[in-house]
Amino acid sequence: MSHIILLGDSIFDNGAYVLPGQPDLVKQVQAKLPKDWRATLCAVDGAATSDVVHQLRNVPADASHLVVSVGGNDGLRNIGVLREGARSVAEAVGRLADVREEFSRAYHVMVDALMQHRLPVVLCTIYEARFSDPQEQRLVVTGLCLFNDVITREAVARRVPLIDLRLICDEPDDYANPIEPSAKGGEKIAGVIAQVVAGNTIFPRTQVFAH
């Protein structure tokens, strides 16, 4: 029996954000897996990249795949940089470079920890969220490119599959609020996770999955 472990933040741990009576993402993943497969949630709402290393302590011995979606909270913790003034473009880009380098170090350490388990690993990009203020949305989408570049590079370097959540959660009602997936968004994400882990047995190699 295969056992899928979901690690990361509230993209996977979205039970507090779906409407009453609607399934959370781990239940949606379970429903889409073959009958003898299991899905377990180790992701924690509010987690940052460095927290995944601690989540790995809860991975059961019979785990067969590790699927990780994290980084959005790292971005939120640095969102103030997007609102700061600067005397030049070079100064502004320099501040963004500092943020990217810090995230890159943390993400690299996390993926190192994942790979030590010697299991198939699947990484996810950070989706673009849905802020009501068009200017804020524009800044967030641009800023997240720095984080997603780090994630994409790690996936390619490690030869692991990459699920591009930006192309999956692409409609307003995929979101329960500006930054959390709704049951509809979770259903779409769950479908791709099931496709990757149960429909693809060629590891290791990098593949990018969307619709």
DSSP string, 21-43: T---HHHHHHHHS-TT-EEEE--
Domain limits of the chain?
A: 3-209
The amino acid sitting at 172 is P
Tens of pLDDT, residues 52-65:
999 999 999 999 99
Give burial (CB, 10 Å; 0-12/13-18/19+) of 34.
exposed
Tens of pLDDT, residues 130-158:
989 898 899 889 889 999 999 999 999 99
Q: Is the peptide bond before 204 cis (omega within 30 degrees of 0)?
A: yes
CATH H superfamily, domain 3-209: SGNH hydrolase (3.40.50.1110)
- How does pLDDT run along the chain (211 residues), one tens digit per residue? 899 999 999 999 999 999 999 999 999 999 999 999 999 999 999 999 999 999 999 999 999 999 999 999 998 887 777 666 667 888 777 887 888 999 999 999 999 999 999 999 999 999 998 989 898 899 889 889 999 999 999 999 999 999 999 999 999 999 999 999 999 999 999 999 999 998 855 555 666 676 5
H or E element that contains 4:
strand 3-8
Q: Indicate the pairing of strand 65-69 with strand 38-41.
A: unpaired
